[in-house]
Structure 1
């Protein structure tokens, strides 16, 4: 799978001599025209691609499908294709490691427009996470406004803006 971007958080001056926690995740890209299936998170006031961490030994596609179903209630998942990898290094918040190396494997797919029941985790519910179909340009503008104007922004918003812009450029404008 192609590498889309490697991002290093500005608080990290060097990776040398640091203990690094590797986390692998998947992200799902489901489009209907110019609408994209995203998760709106009230706590961070942002939109993000559905997805999350892989379970130990879990296959990439199985993990993507599981996360997509859990977070959005998506049904009729089909036409899955590789899109690319976004890797990032960011400070780790626990004392056991210095840095988190997050590797996000992104896939495009088709899903039914109507969503079913979600199976959100406790923290996701507490953060006010909900699936929405939204125009991709509205989502990009919203996230850009959040970066400029909100102190609540999450650590993944830069990744989300990068991916949404690339999706618009390569998939939607390429049609």
Structure 2
């Protein structure tokens, strides 16, 4: 899968510390200029649906599982690799210094009707919900959150970058078709 971006958090000066590795799968689902996102009230941001891959789980199987849990998506199909976003962040648990996360992003299609979500307790507590939003509005919203919010999570930079890539590459392709 092509590398879209590799980032190292500014608080990390040396990558030789103890590293916790996390692989995640993220879904890109477009309907014209609208994109299926997760809105999280706690951080006031939009993120691509998806999440961590379980040990021994294939990446695409994890993508399907996470999509079903977080959005209630049905009949997930036509899964195509889009790109990889790699990041190194400080880790908050004492047994590791750094988290190395690889987000494997895929385009796919789903049925238009979403089913019931199966959110985890922390996702419910954070006010997470699936929403269809115009991609330009999601970009503008995340730009504002990044600039102004003290509650913003570290993921908003990744999500903003990915939304801009999707806009620049996938919407342009759709408009030319």
Question: Per the shorter chain, which TM-score range?
Answer: over 0.9
Q: CA deviation at 1:78?
A: 1.1
- The equivalent residue for 2:13 is 13
Q: Output the CA distance in 2 between the equivalents of 1:31 and 1:25.
A: 20
Structure 1: runs of 5 or more not aligned: none
- The equivalent residue for 1:129 is 128
- The equivalent residue for 2:144 is 145
- The equivalent residue for 1:52 is 51
Give the alignment of 1:55-94 within 5 angstroms. 55-94=54-93
Q: Output the CA distance in 1 between the equivalents of 2:172 and 2:8.
A: 28
Q: SS state of the match for residue 173, structure 1? A: helix
Q: Output the CA distance in 2 between the equivalents of 1:113 and 1:141.
A: 25
Q: CA deviation at 1:112?
A: 1.6
Give the alignment of 1:163-174 within 5 angstroms. 163-174=162-173
Q: Output the CA distance in 1 between the equivalents of 2:115 and 2:44.
A: 23
- The equivalent residue for 2:28 is 29
Q: SS state of the match for residue 75, structure 2? A: coil
- The equivalent residue for 1:117 is 116
Cα deviation, 1:87-113, whole Å, max 9, x if unaligned, reads: 100000000000000011110001122
Q: Output the CA distance in 2 between the equivalents of 1:152 and 1:110.
A: 32
Cα deviation, 1:40-73, whole Å, max 9, x if unaligned, reads: 0000000000011011100011000000000000
Q: CA deviation at 1:123?
A: 0.1
TM-score by length of 1: 0.98
Counting matched residue pairs gives 174
Structure 2: runs of 5 or more not aligned: none
TM-score by length of 2: 0.97
Q: CA deviation at 1:114?
A: 1.6
**Structure 1 stretch displaced more, 112-121 or 93-102:** 112-121
Q: CA deviation at 1:174?
A: 2.3
Correspondence 1:2 to 2:40: no
Q: Output the CA distance in 2 between the equivalents of 1:147 and 1:168.
A: 18
